[in-house]
Amino acid sequence: MNETLGRLMSRLAGQPGPGHEGESLACRHLEAAGFTILDRNWRCRSGEVDIIAKDGEAVVFVEVKQRHGASHGEAVEGVTFGKRRRVIRAARLWAAAKGLTETYVRFDVVAIDDDANGRPQVRHDRGAFCADAR
């Protein structure tokens, strides 16, 4: 069974996907920084938002990337222009569904890379990109 089909079967069976560990670590990091988690893995036709949190008055849409090795670059490099665009579309739909049209929003990235000893190192970039996908 190929990797994509395996992930789909896991998702259909209600099992956590491959990013679950990193997202749980990111949630713990955000909560320790004073964030309140509002939602996780919110999906729609336009895309997915890994974590939606509240930081003061801001609603924060968080993309989480985890890499266990450096062969494909650092985790933060995995948040491509296309990925940012999909997160923004999904975030707009989430906010509209919640009636949050006048709320300040922010897009953060939590990147998790393993150090030389295999321990995860968390990097949190607040305001990593804008709603115009830059």
Q: What is the pLDDT of residue 10?
A: 54
Q: What is the pLDDT of residue 74?
A: 79
Q: Are 91 and 61 in contact (CB under 8 A)?
A: yes
Q: Are 122 and 26 in contact (CB under 8 A)?
A: yes
The CATH class of 22-129 is: alpha beta
- Whether the pLDDT of residue 68 is over 80: the answer is no
More confident residue, 131 or 53: 53
Per-residue pLDDT tens digits for 71-120 = 567 788 888 899 999 999 999 999 999 998 778 999 999 999 988 888 99
Distance separating alpha carbons of residues 56 and 58, to the nearest angstrom: 6
Global pTM? Answer: 0.82
Per-residue pLDDT tens digits for 15-48 = 455 557 889 999 999 999 999 999 999 999 989 9
Q: What is the pLDDT of residue 57?
A: 92
Long-range contacts of 129-132 (CB under 8 A, 24+ apart): 129/79, 129/84, 129/88, 131/88, 131/92, 131/105, 131/107
Q: What is the pLDDT of residue 109?
A: 95
Q: What is the pLDDT of residue 8?
A: 59
Assign 24 to helix, strand or coil: helix
Indicate if the alpha-carbon torsion angle 24, 26, 27, 28 is positive or negative. positive
